[in-house]
Amino acid sequence: MPTHRLFHGSVITPVSVHKTEFWPQALLCVNSAGIIEWIVSDVESSQLQTVALEKGLVLDDSVEIHELRHGEWLMPGLSIPTHGGQYELLDWLNNVTFPTESRFHDTFRRAPTQVLAKLTHDKGQRAFVGKCNMNRESGKYQEDSTSQSIENTKKLISYIRALSPNSAPLVHPILTPRFAISCTGDLLDSLGDMVKADPTLAIQTHISENLGEIDITLKLFPKASTYTDVYKRAGLLTDRTILAHAVHLSNDEMEEIKSCGSGISHCPTSNFYLNSGVARVGEMLDRGLKVGLGTDCSGGFSPSMLTAVRDAGIASKVIGMTSVGSLPSPYATSTLTNGKAGAAENGQATTCNGIVTPKLADKTLPLSALLHLSTLGGAQLCNLEQTTGSLEAGKEFDAVLVSVRPETGNAKVWANLPAGVNSSAGEEMPADSLEALLEKFFFCGSDRNVRRVWVRGRLVGGVEK
């Protein structure tokens, strides 16, 4: 096994919602532990040995060098949760999902979930795995009692943590109340007690996906002022909470979620398919909420993050074309600016750390935002931004090698590659050409364009796996 691997060629990595780095001829070094030791953004082929020596690395047989070809680049891995179109959410659950899931009844129990966690661990995948907690409003497909649900959840947490007792784990336990309607107040409170006892526990659930869901939730929890308040009262809003959907949040709820450090998993494909509505992601980002991108399969019809990226772009266009004020969401009316609910209060720009950035509310999300949502935003949502989500020194090498070479398919799309995509050929390529290729990959690409996938430096997927 090599002590180091060097990757020389094009690298794309997110910096923020508004900024992406495009490096046509970068040199990236990964050590044997799967950690990025260093990255230099502009290195010609003739400079490899010189730059490596400056970094204290001798290019001998222990160093493996990968020259990226014309039409290839490295970027962070795409991440966040995977979870009948004529139905809206509640009808879909009752008529399709619960009956179908009940045919595989044991899948929400502890033992099968342990199998999932073990398989994920053995395959070298990074994941949060939780046993679904649900004890009402699910027909026969539910747990017998709160105590049973909590006992099995605690046993699952112990099992998952024992998979990597002496090293940084790739697989983490996560508390998973399905959503408020499926849980009694006693069950939510008991999960909240677990969080109080162990604040490192992550939490995932759904919130404000559908208007009918919100109405029923508030009837089941009459003391709660909002859907968000249901989870807050139970102690389930922390800086490790992932809230899926959030289509119909009020501005006040957004601020509450932000103040708790919780974040949103935006699932546009599912939201379109189940007629749930369109989440105001631009508004959330303007307000400083953590937002990542999710698939919510099978609520959505595709497990592909590329599909989610495309639908996130379309969702932002829908918001921009219609304005939030015209959408049928009575839960999004707590703040009005220029006659429209959800518009950023500061007009056309927001200020963060003294830097003025364009506002995203009611706007089409730019390419930089779509990349952020599918990479670094997801890492932030999982509190893993110091470990993964971008290609930086000190982070783990979670990356994909993308190829848009003609042999990957869609030859007519990729045929006009700009000269100089491959830095190892000694050619220079303007950064905007790399940006154009990323956009083509996002909107025209498929899994055929993903040559290799690494997690913590280990090759785990891709067409060449």
Mean pLDDT of 399-409: 89
Q: Report the relative pairing of strands 132-133 and 171-177 from DSSP bridges.
A: parallel
Range name among 83-97, 207-221, 289-303, 332-346 with the lowest pLDDT average: 332-346
pLDDT tens-digit series, residues 382-401: 999 999 999 999 999 999 99
- 184 closest CA partner among 216, 151, 146, 222: 146
Check residue 414 and give its pLDDT.
64
Check residue 234 and give its pLDDT.
98
Check residue 407 and give its pLDDT.
83
Separation between Cα atoms, residue 35 and residue 376, nearest integer Å: 17
pLDDT band at 97 (very low <50, low <70, confident <90, very high): low
Separation between Cα atoms, residue 454 and residue 34, nearest integer Å: 9
Given a cut of 60, is residue 96 above it in pLDDT? no
pLDDT tens-digit series, residues 166-186: 889 999 999 999 889 999 999
Domains assigned to the chain: 4-77+388-461 (2.30.40.10), 89-381 (3.20.20.140)
pLDDT tens-digit series, residues 290-316: 999 998 876 667 889 999 999 999 999
Check residue 90 and give its pLDDT.
46
Between the alpha carbon of residue 56 and those of residues 1, 37, 275, the distances in Å are 19, 11, 57
Separation between Cα atoms, residue 85 and residue 72, nearest integer Å: 36
Cut 0.85: pTM above it: yes
Residue 55 near residue 406, CB atoms below 8 Å: no
- Higher pLDDT pick, 349 / 29: 29
Peptide bond into 149 cis (omega under 30): no
Q: In this structure, what are the phi and psi dihedrals at residue 125, rounded to the nearest 5 degrees?
A: -90, 150
